[in-house]
Structure 1
Amino acid sequence: MKVLLDLQYLNAATTGIKTYMLELAKAARDYPNPEIEWVFTHDPEKQSEDKTFKNLNSKIQRLNYHLDYFRWKEFQLPDLVKKHQPDVLICLDFVSPATALPCRRLTVFHDAFFWQMPKNYPAWWRKYFLSLIKKGIKETTSIITTTNHSKAALEKHLALPNKIEVVYQVPKTLNQEVKEGFLKESNLEQGKYFLHIGTFDKRKNLALLVEAFDEFLKKTNSEFKLVLAGGSGQSVQMNSLPLVKNLVKKLGLEEKVVLPGYVSDLEVNTLYDGAFAYVFPSENEGFGIPIVEAMRAGIPVIHSDQPALVEVSGGAGIVCKTGDSGDLAEKMVLLSRENTLRGLLIQKGLQRAEDFSPKKFIEAFHRIILDIQN
């Protein structure tokens, strides 16, 4: 069984999809199946390091990217299918070629945000991208998504007969090294800060987290800090960074809320290693990679009752009401006062993190690929 894996989008991906693509390619190499031959469209490491279409600032740059993406999906990728003659084509970024192909398709839909939150995207771009998605779904297309919650949402919005499979993804493979002096440089103490890592998208509810943290400080009179690491949201509509900065200033939390921007893998390790707890108040997620990363690092997690996060944490986190800053603050206070609870959550989290391994990730793909053959 020959499988062609489309890795072109790595030249633009910056967040969860990038991790998904890199980890799948790595797992395919590390855990080979004798019945499957993998063919990569690109070298994953080199393609991910290509900065040609990252951090696009002008309309011309964005237009050039969309033209390049369209050319790839509708012309170059079909040519590679003709060249390699795979049994299966896997596209990891929602979009498969619109043209007919002599092979089966597996297309990964990471979430249903395009349908659930239309206001978060420019109207013209959303219409265009959804048309690409729909034209790439054929009778021979099977869809893979990240959680049962995402599957239910996709079944509702797509309303197609295509089979939808759930495959739990894995976090980025990181070593255990830390950056000496990074916490001190950031005016942070070991075990004395709450942590969130990710882009400042509005759906992440980071302004609400700042409000909850302010309430937490008033209730505990503690020396804790809040670290919000990550860059701006992916569009003007989605970006909440200006709102968060203004709120921090309004509440007088400039010395308590740390905004380090994008952080390197080494700095991510360091932040996880030193955190008291990870807080994830998002109102909508397809999966929630940071939950697994935090649990794997041995720190407890507080997360919203958003279904995908509840599914991923599997009872190993503290659940708060989505959109309720008061309830989130109470859960932060509870965790800060209950050492026994914190220890229990750490143990549960370490056990839950074992369910999200690279081997299990690729074996799920192996099963689906070989089922297609049958």
Structure 2
Amino acid sequence: MKVLLDLQYLNVATTGIKTYMMELAEAALAYPHPEIEWIFSHDPKIQSADQTFKGHQSKIQRLNYHMDYFRWKEFQLPDLVKKHQPDVLICPDFVSPVASLPCRRLTVIHDAFFWQMPQNYPKWWRTYFLRLIKKGLKENTEIITTTEYSRKSLYKYLKKIYPMTVIYQAPKRLENGLDTTFLEENGLADQKYFMHLGTFDKRKNLPMLVRAFDNFLNKTKADFKLVLAGGAGQSAQMNDLPIVEKLVEELGLQDKVFLPGYVNDHQVAALYKNAFAYVFPSENEGFGIPILEAMANRIPVIHSDQPALMEVAGGCGLPFKTGDQQDLMEKMIFLALDDDQINSMVGKGLEQSKKFSAQKFIEGFQNVILKK
């Protein structure tokens, strides 16, 4: 059985979707199935390294990207289907071609953010993207999503009931070395710190985390820092980085809050290895990869009680009420004062992280691909 995997979106994908696509491609190669022949639309490493549409973009550049994306989905990808004649096409980036295709489609819709949080997206862009998603859900389409929470959310907003399967994804592997110099140069090598990794999207609630951390310092007088690693939000409407930067200055936390911006895999691995705890205050997630990355690195996790994070953490994290700054501060204090709690969470978290392997990830797809 031939399976065509669309990897074009890797030229702009960041954080969660990029990890999803890369891990899916690598797992397909690492765990082959005798009845499945994989065809990649692009070499994943080359496509993810493409800088053409990355970085700060002018309006003209953004328009050029959208035209390039539309051209790919609606003309070039259908031509590739015609050329290779796959039995199954997998689109891991929400959108499948509008054109009729002679094969099954597996479309990955990671979450329901576009429906749930319209205020976080430019109106014209959201309208256009939702239209692309809906028009591509046609013919023999099955939806793959990331958690039971996402599945229930999508059923709420999609007018038509499609076959939908939850396949838990695998976290990024960070096994190729640590950049310990990064920690030393930034005063983190011998320093206790809470950390968060990801873009500064509004739904991440990072200004609240900064305020909770400030309260934590005032209450405990402890020598901790807060590391917020990652790039700006994906649009001006979604970006909380300027708000966080201003808040750090207003609270006088310049020496306590470290904002390194984008960090590479070696730096991420070093941050995980040396962190005191990972804090995930997001108000909405489709999955929550950093929870598993942190647990695999023997770091206790404090997370909001948002349903997807609760599902992924599996009771092995320390939840607080979503959006409740006081509760978050109390959980940070509780963890800082209880070594037994830390040891218990580390052990349970490590076992939980093992449930989300690359092999199980690809086996989920293989089962859907081969089902009669």
Same fold? TM cut 0.5: yes
Q: Is the 8 A contact 2:180 2:267 kept in 1?
A: no
Q: Distance in 2 between matches of 1:350 and 1:95?
A: 34
* Residue in 1 that maps onto 2:133: 133
Report the alpha carbon displacement of residue 55 of structure 1 after superposing the two structures with TM: 1.6
Q: Distance in 1 between matches of 2:179 and 2:73?
A: 40
Q: Is the 8 A contact 1:200 1:206 kept in 2?
A: yes
Report the alpha carbon displacement of residue 331 of structure 1 after superposing the two structures with TM: 0.2
* Residue in 2 that maps onto 1:358: 358
- Percentage identity across paired residues of the two chains: 66
Report the alpha carbon displacement of residue 177 of structure 1 after superposing the two structures with TM: 2.0
Write the deviation string for residues 161-211 of structure 1: whole angstroms up to 9, x where unpaired: 211110101111211621133222112244600000110011000000001
- Structure 2: runs of 5+ lacking an equivalent: none
4+ aligned runs moved over 2 Å, structure 1: none
Q: Does 1:75 align with 2:93?
A: no
**What secondary structure sits across from 1:99 in the alignment?**
coil
Write the deviation string for residues 67-86 of structure 1: whole angstroms up to 9, x where unpaired: 11000000000001111111
Q: Which amino acid aligns with 1:345?
A: M
* Structure 1 residues 210-229: aligned runs within 5 Å: 210-229=210-229
* Residue in 2 that maps onto 1:239: 239
> Pairwise CA RMSD of aligned residues?
0.9
Q: Which amino acid aligns with 1:99?
A: A
Answer with 53-62 or 185-194: which moved more: 185-194
Q: Which amino acid aligns with 1:89?
A: L
- In structure 2, the CA distance between the partners of 1:10 and 1:311, relative to structure 1 (3 Å rule), is same
Q: Which amino acid aligns with 1:67?
A: M
Write the deviation string for residues 37-58 of structure 1: whole angstroms up to 9, x where unpaired: 1111111111111111112420
* Residue in 2 that maps onto 1:258: 258
Q: Which amino acid aligns with 1:42?
A: H
* Residue in 1 that maps onto 2:109: 109
Q: Is the 8 A contact 2:180 2:189 kept in 1?
A: no
Q: Which amino acid aligns with 1:77?
A: L
* Residue in 2 that maps onto 1:97: 97
Q: Which amino acid aligns with 2:66?
A: H
The size of the alignment, in residue pairs, is: 372
* Residue in 1 that maps onto 2:149: 149
* Residue in 1 that maps onto 2:209: 209
**What secondary structure sits across from 2:259 in the alignment?**
strand
**What secondary structure sits across from 1:38 in the alignment?**
strand
Q: Is the 8 A contact 1:56 1:62 kept in 2?
A: no
* Residue in 1 that maps onto 2:37: 37
- TM-score, normalising length from structure 2? 0.99
**What secondary structure sits across from 1:244 in the alignment?**
helix
- Structure 1: runs of 5+ lacking an equivalent: none
Q: Is the 8 A contact 1:73 1:96 kept in 2?
A: yes
* Residue in 1 that maps onto 2:55: 55
